[in-house]
Amino acid sequence: MTGRIFDIKRYSIHDGPGIRTTIFLKGCSLGCLWCHNPESIAAGPELMHWLARCVRCYSCIEACPKSAIAKDAAGAVVVDRDKCDVCGKCAEACLYDAMQVVGREMSVDEVLEEAEKDRVFYEQSGGGVTLSGGDPAVQSAFAEAILDACRARGLRTAVDTAGFTKNGTLDRLAAKTDLLLFDLKLMDDARHREFTGVSNLLIHDNLERLAAAGPEIWVRVPLVHGVNDDDDNIRRTTKFLLSLKTVRRVGLLPYHAGGLDKAGRIGKGAHFRRFEPPSEERLAAIEAEFRRAGFEVRRGG
């Protein structure tokens, strides 16, 4: 079985316990306006154009069979996204990695080969392999196959999900992994729709059901100033998590604007918005509120 991967990060310390290898799968059911991995949302491959790396040799223009790449009036390389079919010829021709195809097909064995390289660090630190994205639930069969292969080789796993999926997908993933990292963004449904593009009702239902079933779950809250760092949302989030009983750990993820640069490189800068992170004072207050409610709190995951 194969699936589409857009990145593999080794020595990760923010995606579960210990030192981990995080496998980033393409495809997400949400469209969060602050997304820090905008190249993960579309399921298919995308062309990433790094203007800062371009030396204007124009080999990409010559290599493109669709005439989708040209020079503008100032001599800068520009990509016509409507013409581009992401064939990758420009990336093959570019010697400076200014053109890259994001999203490559990998087999389960190829993924495990990468993960096995750091087995000694997992064993020493209590780490393992984390499936992230995007959302692994979008490529659920591939994700399940990776989890099965990891378990067969004695590797501990975690799955990072936004929770927006039907038909028992998360239940199957939860049954095959050691830990769920579950993102919880906004309690108000209308605001959730406004900032992520989908309702939160299914997400909350999935979290309630999974928490009742008993797998280990760490809830992660991305904090975006003016979106979900207000007193009302934090109170409602705390109350909801307290009702779940089995969820005892909360990770706070302050917003950063790094995703905007990547969005521009894939030609989707207009699809996202610039926000601000909460102040240090506000972060400390939010952290204190979760701690008062009895949760173990960690910044960064």
Query: What mean pLDDT value characterizes the chain?
Result: 96
- Using CA atoms, how far residue 202 sits from 3, 168, 175, 199, 206, in Å, is 25, 12, 19, 7, 6
What is the percentage of the chain residues whose pLDDT exceeds 90? 97
For residue 300, the model assigns a pLDDT of: 83
Residues 161 and 185 in one domain: yes
Domain hosting 78: range is 48-102
Residues 67 and 186 in one domain: no
Domain end among 63, 78, 102 = 102
For residue 95, the model assigns a pLDDT of: 95
Kindly indicate the confidence band of residue 167, based on its pLDDT and cuts at 50, 70 and 90: confident
Mind listing the pLDDT tens digit for each residue in 3-57?
A: 999 999 999 999 999 999 999 999 999 999 999 999 999 999 999 999 999 999 9
Residues 58 and 189 in one domain: no
Residues 180 and 289 in one domain: yes
Residues 180 and 151 in one domain: yes
Report if pTM > 0.85. Answer: yes
Residues 83 and 213 in one domain: no
CA distance 292 to 75: 58
Report the sign of the C-alpha dihedral through residues 190, 192, 198, 201, in that order. negative
Residues 135 and 172 in one domain: yes
Residues 151 and 238 in one domain: yes
CA distance 279 to 277: 6
Domain end among 67, 83, 102 = 102
CATH of the domain at 146: 3.20.20.70
Kindly indicate the confidence band of residue 105, based on its pLDDT and cuts at 50, 70 and 90: very high
Residues 272 and 210 in one domain: yes
Torsion of CA 166, 172, 175, 180, to 10 degrees: -50
CATH of the domain at 59: 3.30.70.20
pLDDT of 301 higher than 80 = no
Residues 148 and 184 in one domain: yes
The residues that bridge with 160 in the sheet, in sequence order, are 181
Residues 170 and 231 in one domain: yes
Block residue for tokens 């079985």? 1
The residues that bridge with 130 in the sheet, in sequence order, are 22, 158
Number of domains composing the chain: 2
Domain end among 87, 102, 117 = 102
Residues 237 and 154 in one domain: yes
Amino acid letter at 194? Answer: E
